[in-house]
A and B are shown apart, each in its own frame.
Chain A
Amino acid sequence: MAPAAGSLRSLDLRRGAPLGFLFGALGAALIFGLVQLANDPALFFQTFMKSLGLGSVYALIALGFVLIFKATQTINFAQGALAATGALFVAFLVQERSVFTGDAIQADRYGHIPFTNLRNPLNAMGGPDWLYWVLSVAIALVFAAAVGLVVERLAIRPMVGEPLFSVAVITLGLEIMFRVFNNDAVVIDFRPVHAPWGLEGFTVGGELINWSFIAAMVTAAAAFVAVYFFYRSRLGIAMRAVAFDQEAAMAQGINVGRVFAIAWAAGAVLAAIGGIFATQPPVDQTLSVDQETANIAFRALPAVILGGLDSVTGALLGGLLVGVAEIYAGQYAAANTSWLGAGYPLIVPYVVMLIGLLVRPYGFFGTPEIQRV
C-alpha cells in the first residue's frame, strides 16, 4: 500500500541510510554544541552571532538566485559579478566624501580617479555621514538595478524558449566579462565601502560582536519580509504565475518580458546588497571590494541548492544552515587546520550541500520536477 500521510513519504526505506546519517550528524552536532556552550558561553554566543551574520549574507545572495530562478527558471551564475559591481558602485559613490577616506581621493597612475563620471549627486549634502552613506547606497542600488535590466534585455531576453542550460551558460559568460572589469577596477587598490559601523561592535562576556553581523541580519530580515509581501502584490502574483507556466501566464495577458526584467533588477539589487556585506565581517575583514568579493555568490550557491532553487523559505533556511556550518566548523575544528587545509571552512558549504543532495535531490524545500513520458 502506498504511504498515506504526505509527511511520512520522506521516510521511504531507500532514503533510510542517508536520513539516518543526517540525523546522526545533526545529533552529534547538537551534543557537541551543548558541550561547547557549557564550556565557554561567551565564545559560543559570539560564534552564534557570527554564523547568523554570515548566514544572513548567504540568505540575501540566495534570495537573489531564487527570485531570478522563479521568474526565468535559470540559475544566474553572474550573481557574484553583479554583487561585486554593486559594491563597487557604493565604493565609487562614497569615495569622494573625504571624511570617509581621511586623505586625498585615490587616483590612478594618470592622475584621474577611475570612473569619475560616476559623480555622487549628494556631494553638496550636509548632515550626518551615515545618512550620506545610506543615501549613496540607495543610489548605488538604483545603478545596480539598471545593470540588471540592461543585462536581462541584451543577453537573457533573446533566449526565451531556449534550453535552460544555454541561459545558465550565458550568465557564466556574463560573469567572466564582468569579472574582468571589476578586477580591473580593484586590482591596484582596494575600494573601501566605508560602512558607518566599520569594524566596531559590542562585547558580550569579553567577546566582540560586530555591528556588521547585526546589520546583515536586519537587512536580510527586511529583504525577506519585502519579498514575502511582494509575492502577494499584483506583480508578485504575476511573477509566480510566470514561474508556474510561462505560456499560460502569457495567455492570461501577463507581460512575461516585464516580469523577467523586474526579477533581474530585483536579483541585481539583492546581489549588490549581498556584495556590500561581502566586504564586511564575518565574510571579509578588509571592509573593501577586492577580487574575492565576487566569490560570495559561489559560496552561497550551496545554500540555494540545499534550500531548493525555487523556494524563498529554502533560501533563508539554507543560507542560515550553511552559515552556521561554516562558522562553527571554522571555530571549533581549527586545531586540525593542517590536516583539513588552510581555509577549510570555505568548502564546508559544499560538503554540506553534497550530503544534503544525497537525501533530497531537489533541496529541502524545492519542488521536485514532475516528469511525464
Chain B
Amino acid sequence: MLGRPNLYTSYQQENQLLPTWTQKVVFTLFVAVLFLLPFDLPVISQIPLVRFLGDGDWLLIMSRMLVFAIAALGLNLLSGIGGQVSLGHAFFMGVGACAAVYLGGTSGETTWGHGLPIWVWLPGAGVAAALVGVLVSPVAVRVRGLYLAIVTLGLVFLGLHFGNTSWGTKIAGAPAYGRDFPSLDVRLWKEETPLLDVSSSGRWLWFEVTELQKLYLFMLTLTILFAVVAKNLSRSRTGRALQAIRDRDIAAEVMGVAEFRYKLIAFAVSSFFAGVAGALFAALLERLQVEQFGLFLSVEFIAILLIGGAGTTAGPLIGSFFVVMVPEFVKAFTKWLEAAESGPTEVLAGAMLTDGDDFGIINTAIQTPGWTLSVDAWNIVLFGALIIVFLIAEPLGIFGIWVRIRNYWKRWPFSY
C-alpha cells in the first residue's frame, strides 16, 4: 500500500496534512532549509536560489514576501475557498495596521497611542480587522459576485479617506507622511529591555544573529503558524461548508449549510489574517502610511491567488513568492546587465538597456521622462501582463502547472 497515490483506506488518511511519507520528508526538509536559509552554512548555501536569497537585502524582500503570504492565505479562505471575491483586502490590512499603531504606538501631540507590547497589538490588529469585517458583512453577504467586488472596492476608497480626516490623522498620522510604527520587539509589558529583541542585531541563545535574519525568522515562524491554521480551517467543517457555498450557494443552503453564518466566519477570519499581515507590513516599513493600502495592493493579492492557484493552501504561498520576487529578480537582472562590460551579456545589455538616446526598452537613467520606461514601470506592466497571461493560459495558476506535471509522471509512460 505504501506510495500508491490516491489510494486512501480511511477518511482520516485522506484528510491528513501530509498524506504520504514522501511529502512528510520533503516538507520537513523544505521547512528546515527555509529556517537555515539566512545563515552561511556549507551545503545549504549551495542550493540554487538559496545561494543568494539568504543574504542582505534579499532577506528583507523575503520577509515582505512572507507577510504577503499571510495576507494571501487570508484572502484565499474568503475568495479561494469561500468563493466571495473581495477587492477590499488592502482595506482590512489597513485597519489592522491602524489598530496596531493605536495600541502599540507612542502617544504624542498629534497622535494617539498606548505603547502596548506586541502580544497585545499584533492580535489586536487581527481582532480589530475581524470586527470591521463582521461589521461590513451584512452588506457583503447580501450582494454577490461582481457587486461584492465593487462593494469591497468601495471599502478601499473609504479606508484611504480615513487618513484625511481630523480624527483619522490622530491614528494614521499626517496624510502622505504617516507615523512611526512600533518595533517588533517582544516585551512582557512596557519595560526598557525587550524579552526577545527583534529589531536590532544581537545574540539569540548562542548564536550571533543580524537584524534582518531575526526579522526573517520572526516572519517565517508566523507565516508557518498561519499556514497551518489556514490549512486546518480549510479541511474542517467550516472549510467544507465554505467550499459548498462557493460551488453553489443555494444548493448548500438547501442542504443545511448556514450560508450567512459561514460567510460571516469567512469574512472575519480572512480579515483577521489581513489585519495581522497589515500590521506586520507596516512594521517591516517601520512606518504606517495609509496610502500604502490602496487598490493596487488589493489587486496584488488577487493576482497572488490567481497566479499561485486559488482554493489551495500552497497556491497563495507560491503566488506570493512569484508576485513579490519576480519584480526583484527583474531589477537584479537589470543591475547585472548594467554592470556587464564585455561578452554576450554586454551585447544583451546594449539591446535592452538605454540611458536615454540609444536603442533599448529599459531606461536606466535616474530620471526617465517620456518613452522608454524605467525598470519599476516595466515591472508594473509585467505584473499586469502576468495576470492576463496566467488567466488566459493557466487559470489554475502555478499550482495547476505543478498538478499537471505531477500527473504526467504519475501515469508515465501512459498518457492518461
Q: How far is the CA of A109 from the CA of B150 in the complex (A)?
A: 40
Q: Is the CB of A373 within 8 A of B251?
A: yes
Known A-B contacts A109-B370, A344-B161; A165 and B145 likewise in contact (beta carbons under 8 Å)? yes
Smallest CB separation, A71 vs chain B (Å): 15
Smallest Cβ-Cβ distance to B371: which chain A residue? A114
Mark the stretch among B152-160, B236-244, B260-268 that contacts chain A. Answer: B152-160
Q: Which of B154, B306, B373 contacts A302 (CB 8 A)?
A: B154
Q: Is the CB of A155 within 8 A of B392?
A: yes
Render B238-258 as a binary contact track against A, CB cut-off 8 A, 1 for contact.
000000000011110010000
B165 at the interface (CB under 8 A from A): yes
A226-282, CB < 8 A from B:
none
Q: Is the CB of A173 within 8 A of B385?
A: yes
Known A-B contacts A173-B388, A353-B154, A373-B250; A168 and B164 likewise in contact (beta carbons under 8 Å)? no
- The A-B contact count (CB < 8 A) is 156
Known A-B contacts A159-B392, A170-B388; A305 and B164 likewise in contact (beta carbons under 8 Å)? no
A3 at the interface (CB under 8 A from B): no
Known A-B contacts A373-B248, A373-B250; A188 and B369 likewise in contact (beta carbons under 8 Å)? yes
Q: Is the CB of A298 within 8 A of B165?
A: no
For chain B, the bracket of interface size reads: 35 or more
Q: Is the CB of A184 within 8 A of B147?
A: no
B296 proximity list for chain A (CB < 8 A) = 176
B383 at the interface (CB under 8 A from A): yes
Render B375-392 as a binary contact track against A, CB cut-off 8 A, 1 for contact.
001001101111110011
A143 at the interface (CB under 8 A from B): no
B168 at the interface (CB under 8 A from A): yes
Render A338-355 as a binary contact track against B, CB cut-off 8 A, 1 for contact.
111111101100110110
Q: Is the CB of A162 within 8 A of B395?
A: yes
Q: How far is the CA of A371 from the CA of B386 in the complex (A)?
A: 34
Q: Is the CB of A343 within 8 A of B164?
A: yes
Render A150-171 as a binary contact track against B, CB cut-off 8 A, 1 for contact.
0000010011001111101110
Q: How far is the CA of A343 from the CA of B162 in the complex (A)?
A: 11
B158 proximity list for chain A (CB < 8 A) = 347, 350-351
Smallest CB separation, A338 vs chain B (Å): 4
Q: Which of B149, B164, B175, B249 contacts A165 (CB 8 A)?
A: B149
B356 at the interface (CB under 8 A from A): yes
B341 at the interface (CB under 8 A from A): no
Render A131-151 as a binary contact track against B, CB cut-off 8 A, 1 for contact.
000000000000000000000
Q: Is the CB of B384 within 8 A of A173?
A: yes
A333-370, CB < 8 A from B:
338-344, 346-347, 350-351, 353-354, 357-358, 361-363, 369
Q: Considering only CB atoms and an 8 Å cut-off, how many residues of chain A contact the other chain?
A: 58
Q: Is the CB of A347 within 8 A of B392?
A: no
Q: Is the CB of B385 within 8 A of A305?
A: no
Q: Is the interface of B mostly helix, strand, loop or mixed?
A: helix
Smallest CB separation, A170 vs chain B (Å): 5
Smallest Cβ-Cβ distance to B248: which chain A residue? A373
A42 at the interface (CB under 8 A from B): no
A79 at the interface (CB under 8 A from B): no
Q: Which of A155, A165, A176, A298 contacts B146 (CB 8 A)?
A: A165
Q: How far is the CA of A85 from the CA of B144 in the complex (A)?
A: 31
Smallest CB separation, B136 vs chain A (Å): 8
Q: Which of A166, A179, A301 contacts B395 (CB 8 A)?
A: A166
Q: Which of B146, B151, B357, B370 contacts A353 (CB 8 A)?
A: B151
B167 at the interface (CB under 8 A from A): yes
A177 at the interface (CB under 8 A from B): yes
Q: Is the CB of B154 within 8 A of A176?
A: no
Smallest Cβ-Cβ distance to A115: which chain B residue? B371
Q: Which of B142, B299, B370 contacts A108 (CB 8 A)?
A: B370
Q: Is the CB of B377 within 8 A of A358?
A: no
Q: Is the CB of A180 within 8 A of B161?
A: no
B78 at the interface (CB under 8 A from A): no
Smallest Cβ-Cβ distance to B306: which chain A residue? A169
Q: Which of B254, B386, B395 contacts A373 (CB 8 A)?
A: B254
Smallest Cβ-Cβ distance to A302: which chain B residue? B154
Q: Which of A110, A174, A341, A357 contacts B147 (CB 8 A)?
A: A357
16 A-B pairs whose Cβ atoms sit less than 8 Å apart in the complex: A159-B391, A164-B146, A173-B391, A174-B388, A175-B384, A176-B384, A180-B373, A180-B377, A188-B370, A298-B157, A339-B167, A353-B154, A354-B154, A357-B139, A361-B142, A373-B248
9 residue pairs, one from A and one from B, having the closest CB atoms: A341-B165, A341-B164, A173-B387, A177-B384, A176-B384, A108-B370, A350-B154, A173-B384, A173-B388
